[in-house]
A = this chain, B = another copy of it.
Amino acid sequence: MVINCVAYQNGRKLGDIDVQAISDYVVRPDCFVWVALLDPDDEELASMAREFGLHELAVEDARKGHQRPKIEEYGASMFAVLHTVDIDPVNPDGDLIVGQVAVFVGPNYVLSVRRKSPLGFQDVRARAEAEPENLARGSGFVLYAIMDAVVDRYFPVLAKLETDLERLETEIFRGVPSPASIEAFYDLKYRLMTLKHAVASLMEAVAKLFGGRVPAVCLGSQEYFRDVFDHLARINAAIDGQREMLQTGISVTLALVGLADSQVTKRLAAYGALITVPTLVAGIYGMNFEHMPELKWVGGYPLTLASMVIIDVVLFIRFRANGWL
């Protein structure tokens, strides 16, 4: 589905144009066309490929989805695949929603193909149109603007994962750790790796858009791509930090869950000892010897009961002091 198809000249919007008219504008100098597609069918993609002369491998990647984030050069044009990562609004603790944005960038065109991504790029277009001096840098700046928007959406996801990690850490140290905590850590790790996957590959790819040999369409926007790279590096470092704490958190939780059980066993063993001692005393006075003088004493029974209680009180106090109870 074609969302937008707009022609720009020297950074200023010329107006919405018809898809069939694209070829008229693409040939004009200082002019570029920016087309946005959403979940296009094969027919739409094929017609765009003809219109812009896209490479078959890139079109194949845009058609299939499930690519890893990457940026490739095909002669003078470029092909970028980005992952949008969003929290599921229905189930915020469930799996992250991963969408894909494929962007074809040539000297005179930008074509974005969005799949499964809940949010559009109308804001990006609006903001870009509001800064014609930047848009005049050409189609490379549009690639930056889209990339920047995608990367900015990683930050709330990262913040959510950080909050989740902190909550789990509080749980294991303050509350009672349980196998459910382990599963929560495990799920968090999955989500973290989903984000990491989107970030790390893209970071690696963006590093080629500034500094050394830079593709021609990106030449005027190098410092902007370095800024995107910097954001990605920041997220990546935060993810790695979280991942390490998470790993330690899992180890600690596993140990503490086991510990909670073994502590109960220890306490039950200690309580058990408090029962067995008077049981032994009772056993002794239950023996059937004919000559057991205590059995005839009037105070024998209450004295025995009292001694049982006293022994247990003494034991209880000592167990407490030793931290056994």
Contact = CB atoms under 8 A, between A and B. Distances in A.
Contact of A286 (B283, B291, B294, B295): B283
Contacts of A278: 280, 283-284
A184 to B, nearest CB: 10
A233 B268 contact: no
B301 A289 contact: yes
A298 to B, nearest CB: 5
Given A186-B173, A234-B67, A241-B193, A304 B289 contact: yes
Interface stretch (A7-15, A23-31, A102-110, A250-258): A250-258
Contacts of A279: 275-276, 279-280, 283
Contacts of A72: 226, 230
A52 interface: no
Contacts of A286: 282-283, 286-288
A227 B186 CA distance: 33
Interface in A47-85: 55, 57, 61, 67-68, 70, 72, 74
Contact of A324 (B226, B259, B264): B264
A198 to B, nearest CB: 11
A4 interface: no
Contact of A280 (B55, B70, B237, B282): B282
A199 B256 CA distance: 33
Interface of A: 55, 57, 61, 67-68, 70, 72, 74, 169, 173, 176, 179, 182-183, 186, 189-190, 193, 197, 201, 223-224, 226-227, 230, 233-234, 237, 241, 244-245, 247-252, 254-259, 261-266, 268-273, 275-280, 282-292, 294-301, 304-305, 308, 322-324
B257 A254 contact: no
A289 B266 CA distance: 35
Given A283-B279, A295-B290, A245 B189 contact: yes
Nearest to A226: B72
Copies of this subunit? 5
Nearest to A269: B268
A73 to B, nearest CB: 9
Contact of A258 (B255, B282, B288): B255
B201 A186 contact: no
Contacts of A179: 173, 256, 259
B264 A264 contact: no
B292 A301 contact: yes
A183 B175 CA distance: 13
B265 A269 contact: yes
A287 B282 CA distance: 6
A68 B295 contact: no
A284 B305 contact: yes
B284 A295 contact: no
